[in-house]
Amino acid sequence: MGLWCPLPGSAQSVHLRICNEDADNFPYLVKGGQGLDNQQLNLAAKRSGIVLTQVALPWKRCFKELQEGAVDGVAAASFSEERAVFAQYPMTKNGDLDVSLRLRNDSYSLFRPKDGVAGWDGKRFVQLAVPIGTQLGYSVAGDLRKAGVSVDATYYDAKHLMGQLALGRLQMAAMLTKEGDALLVRPEFAGKIERISPAFVEKPYFVIFSKRFYAQNKKAVEQFWGSVAAVRETTEVESGRKR
């Protein structure tokens, strides 16, 4: 029971507004706020003695709201130099990204039609003639461009990407591995699309805050990050992630 009691000295007057993406990303984000990320954030807030409101918006809108101060934080954001200009990530005393305070790890994989010839061998792409599709605002677009390929990052959600693969309008799409795997078993996609191994990239994901909010509430934010990490290691949340 001690794990869920507010920590000594917790700032119970702090009210956090954290933005999540409004598209399903099973098992992490599920409409109705029942995903594993939603649960982890709620448990961390309870442990920290913080009042938490989670709001669901389109992914790019979350960052716009963060910059404008309409929300205090964004959940499940990977690191990028562009985001670090306006957002505070958990950092070590040496100024490095503190991955121990991550929300979770996740990976992006590449998916293609079952009869597709475009490939990825873990180092390079082969027989790729058209841009790789990915979702609007997702950081993997930058990773793909660094790998030297063209990207079409105009898709709203993973289901839309899968649909374009099934119709033969894309040779390849990059999406979060577990989300893609969950879609592969749906009747409209089963037997038509496959995941390519190995994964394209794996990275840590964080709860990030606006620099202004962090400066004004440093103790509460750092306490919340610590609670996020502690909750991540609990049996309840970890067992759900491994399903």
HEC profile for 69-97?
A: CCCCEEEEECCCHHHHCCEECCECCCCCE
Q: What is the pLDDT of residue 9?
A: 44
- pLDDT tens per residue, range 1-59: 333 444 444 445 799 999 999 988 888 988 778 899 999 999 999 999 999 999 999 99
Confidence of residue 121 (pLDDT cuts 50, 70, 90): very high
CATH numbers and ranges of domains, the chain: 2-103+203-241 (3.40.190.10), 107-202 (3.40.190.10)
Q: Which long-range contacts (CB under 8 A, 24 or more apart) does 188-193 make?
A: 188/163, 189/162, 191/114, 192/113, 192/114, 192/165, 192/166, 193/111, 193/112, 193/113, 193/114, 193/162, 193/165, 193/166
Residue percentage of the chain with pLDDT more than 70 = 91
| Residue of 28, 72, 117 whose CA lies nearest to 220 | 72
For 163, other C-beta atoms within 10 Å of its C-beta total 18
Q: What is the pTM of this model?
A: 0.83
Q: What is the pLDDT of residue 7?
A: 46
In this structure, the strands spanning 51-57 and 15-21 are parallel
- pLDDT tens per residue, range 181-226: 999 999 999 999 999 999 999 999 999 999 999 999 999 999 999 9
